[in-house]
Amino acid sequence: MLFEKSVMPTCLVILFTIMPYGAIMAYIASYGINQGIENIGLYFSMYALSLFVVRLGVGRLSDRYGITAIIIPGIVLMFCGLIVLGWASNLTIFLISAILFGLGFGAVFPLLQATGYVFCSPDRRGVESATLFATADLAYGLGALILGIGIKFLGYAPAFGGLAIFTVVALILYISVLYPRLKKRRNVSKQ
């Protein structure tokens, strides 16, 4: 098998989590130029700093409070960052968006990766990892493609704000598909 079937629910959540990231990385510079922002590169710096800071503690927090207690607020932070990005009219608002989105994405993505390992046997972990990263690559491209179409028909601000829909889908999929499997797995391992 070229892909790991047991990780497909995780891949669904990852797909909708990463699509906004791929879109932002592809079009944030042109959005900044469109809004008259001269130093839009600071968006990437603030995003990277937020990502770094949150990843320092996300593992310990998830060990202490559970994955779900970190993933759900993380997706909500991503949602807020995208809504703020849709309103961005100056550098300060762009940077607030970068912080919110970076904190959320920095918490969510590594924990989703970790959930994949829960469902596959040790001898399939390489295939599991490849399946997750193939999904991530697909999401990068799809996010950029969809945002490009959105910009063409809606303009920059509505298209960027509309990316928040993907985080809503990711949250719904996490709660309805992935979380029940994690909960079942946890209950089985306790018996």
The Cα 174–Cα 19 span in angstroms is 15
Residue 181 structure tokens: 């499997």
pTM of the model: 0.93
Domain boundaries, the chain: 5-182
CA distance 146 to 183: 33
Tokens found for residue 13: 């959540």
Answer whether residue 190 shows pLDDT above 70: no
Does residue 13 surpass a pLDDT of 70? yes
d(CA 47, CA 84): 14
Q: What is the pLDDT of residue 191?
A: 35
Query: What angle separates helix 67-87 from helix 41-65, to the nearest 10 degrees?
Result: 160
Q: What is the pLDDT of residues 119-159, one digit of tens each?
A: 888 888 889 999 999 999 999 999 999 999 999 999 999 99
pLDDT digits (tens, 9 = 90+) for 40-97: 999 999 999 999 999 999 999 999 999 999 999 999 999 999 999 999 999 999 999 9
Domain 5-182, what fold? Growth Hormone; Chain: A; (1.20.1250)
Question: Letter for the amino acid at 102?
Answer: G
State residue 187's pLDDT score.
58
Per-residue tokens: 40? 């839009």
List, as one string, the DSSP characters of 82-120. HHHHHH--SHHHHHHHHHHHHHHHHHHHHHHHHHHHHHS
Q: What is the pLDDT of residues 153-179, one digit of tens each?
A: 999 999 999 999 999 999 999 999 999
